[in-house]
Amino acid sequence: MYSFDSETKVLSSYQLQPFYNHFVTAGQHALHYLLRDPSKVIQISYDDGVTLTAGEMAKLGLRIAKNVSKEGLKLGDVIGLVAKNTTYVAPVVLGSLILGTPCSTLDPTFDEGEIAHIFKQTNPKIVFCDHDNMKNVEKALQSINNGSEVITIDQRVQGVRFVTEMFELLQGEAEYVPRNFGTEAYKACGVILCSSGTTSISKGTMLSHSQCIIIASAWSQIHYPTIFCFSSLYWLSGFTTLMQCLANNVKRIITKRPYRPLLLIHLVEQFRVNVIVTAPSHVALLLQSPYLKFADFSSIRVWIMGGGAANTLIRKGLQDHILYGTIVMTYGMTEVGPIISSTGPFETISNSSGKLSPNFKVKIIDEDGFALDLYEVGEIYLMPPYRFLGYANNDEGTRNAFDPEGWLKTGDLGYLTEEGEIFIVDRKKDMIKYLNYQVAPSEIEAFVNGINGVSVACIVGIPDMISGDLPAAVVIKDNNSDITEQDIIDEVARNFPIFKRLHGGAYFVDSLPMTPSGKIKKRLVRKMAAQMYKSQEINGNY
């Protein structure tokens, strides 16, 4: 099933032919399956109890498509979406897929600056958002001179249009047939998800309709009726579970509430969830919860973890509580879309990231650009079945994502085995993952270096079992400066959202390890920061 070429050093997975026409869009694909069983309930909101059947979802998606086109949006125009998981988010996404007006999905907790940064790239023509972040969205659009209308999606606000006004019955609705886009599905943008890439702050990652369809098929071999994931559509995991619902008639449980171990237990028990998708940090918190020993997880058949590393202790600890199910570890990347690799059901627990998915090729590259043999550690390069369409309005970022031969650089360090397994050992990229949020050190470094009294700052992530990485600052301060470490922590907290703050602390040092060319050796700084953080813990300061 897997073959390794000893000359090119390329590991290839087995090939599967697609089961769909290359001109079929993700919207057409979803409608086909929704209308095959229109009476089946496929979405239940825990927060208000509202349910949607497959037929209702299809009807609302078609109405969104037709009403959005009445607003003047045309093929290729972008819809902004800044929302938690509430009832009408899915129909908006379905409508966008049908019409060919991709959604640019942002985290609902983003502040004005983050929203402006992404929307400056994706340039939405209309924006759907929650009532409680509407002001931030409006200010962000004003700051980039985008005059798009803002429509609330979770509840009404006086003087603002509500999403249900886009559901009005239209003439000829029953005869409406989604159009083809006149090009192959792998050339047309289906959705724009946020990604940091491998080096810098968030970009708008344009995934094709073909990638969306493969995403919808990612777990189709797992034939269980009910799925749950806390992630909003900002995350690839959230978008994947939505596509499972739309394109496979899987019942999706949704909630706008943030993750809490007790809430997760309650949702699993109430809705008898069969498939659950979480980040490893969620599992680490769950394993520390006093409520876990009382939890009834007998309905769970597959627990999918992705978005970060999970050591064998976390995997084994969770498996002990899933008597009738199994853990599946996944390795993914927003630019790729579908899962890169995954472990198999009920296999022996290890640190493996699983076996390579069908139609993928992978190789390992050293620092000099040479391909490596099996079991040798280097950067993971990928050749997925479909290439993503690039970063919105960022040609340089798109070029830098690939090598000259078209291989996608992951920024992850790992090695391969002859059985087709991928093992992740570290990150080449400097990106910090705090509670699964991608944090660009360069952004915080630029800010801290501008603080009066700071000479040089280096931002790194301190490994943490629950959070993933704790952002920390290692600083050389100016001579005779009276600035304190707490001053730096407080200043960052005043100017950045919570996931970008210095949860790992700030530390003064006399010097930083440097390369001969004058670059900071961040891996050594990371070790320094981890040691100083541990010392603070021992002394009771954190």
Mean pLDDT of the chain: 90
Q: What percent of the chain has pLDDT over 90?
A: 70
Q: What's the pLDDT score for residue 538?
A: 60
- Measured distance CA(4)–CA(527) in Å, rounded: 35
Q: What's the pLDDT score for residue 201?
A: 66
Domain 25-168+184-225 CATH assignment equals 3.40.50.980? yes
Is the pLDDT at 10 greater than 90, yes or no? Answer: yes
pLDDT confidence tier of residue 84, bands split at 50, 70 and 90: very high
Q: What's the pLDDT score for residue 473?
A: 96
Task: Please report, for the chain, the start and end positions of each structural domain, with discontinuous segments joined by +.
Answer: 25-168+184-225, 432-538
- The tokens for 492 are 């960052």
pLDDT tens-digit readout, 480-523: 899 999 999 999 999 999 999 999 999 999 988 875 545 688 87
3-state helix, strand, coil in the chain (%, to 5): 30, 25, 45
- Measured distance CA(353)–CA(421) in Å, rounded: 7
pTM: 0.84
Rounded to the nearest 10°, the torsion over CA 364, 219, 231, 272 is -140
pLDDT tens-digit readout, 90-148: 999 999 999 999 999 999 989 899 899 999 999 999 999 999 999 999 999 999 999 99
- Give the other-Cβ count within 10 Å of 536's Cβ: 15
pLDDT tens-digit readout, 357-406: 999 999 999 988 999 999 999 999 999 999 999 999 999 999 999 999 99
Q: What percent of the chain has pLDDT over 70?
A: 94
pLDDT confidence tier of residue 222, bands split at 50, 70 and 90: low
- The tokens for 316 are 């084994």
Q: What are phi and psi of 148, to 5 degrees?
A: -65, 150
| Amino acid occupying residue 337 | G
User: Are the C-beta atoms of 336 and 383 separated by less than 8 Å?
Assistant: no
pLDDT confidence tier of residue 325, bands split at 50, 70 and 90: very high
- Measured distance CA(356)–CA(380) in Å, rounded: 12
- The tokens for 159 are 């003087």
Q: What's the pLDDT score for residue 25?
A: 93
Three-state secondary structure string covering 143-160: HCCCCCEEEECCCCCCCC
E strands in 126-244: 126-129, 149-152, 189-195, 203-208, 226-229
Is the pLDDT at 65 greater than 70, yes or no? Answer: yes
- Measured distance CA(138)–CA(230) in Å, rounded: 26
Rounded average pLDDT over 69-80: 93
pLDDT confidence tier of residue 219, bands split at 50, 70 and 90: low
Q: Which class for 514: exposed (0-12), middle (13-18), buried (19 or more C-beta within 10 A)?
A: exposed
Q: What's the pLDDT score for residue 173?
A: 67
Residue positions counted in the chain: 542
Q: What's the pLDDT score for residue 521?
A: 80
Q: What's the pLDDT score for residue 441?
A: 85
- Measured distance CA(534)–CA(542) in Å, rounded: 9
Which region among 4-18, 62-76, 120-134, 428-442 has the lowest average model confidence (pLDDT)?
Answer: 428-442
Rounded average pLDDT over 330-359: 91
Q: What's the pLDDT score for residue 541?
A: 59
Q: What's the pLDDT score for residue 277?
A: 94
pLDDT confidence tier of residue 478, bands split at 50, 70 and 90: confident
pLDDT tens-digit readout, 184-206: 899 999 999 998 655 456 899 99
Which region among 44-58, 168-182, 394-408 has the lowest average model confidence (pLDDT)?
Answer: 168-182
Which region among 218-227, 235-244, 437-446 has the lowest average model confidence (pLDDT)?
Answer: 218-227
Is the pLDDT at 17 greater than 70, yes or no? Answer: yes
CATH class of 432-538: alpha beta
Give CA separation, 462 vs 262, 472, 474, in Å: 27, 7, 11
Q: What's the pLDDT score for residue 248?
A: 87
Q: What's the pLDDT score for residue 515?
A: 58
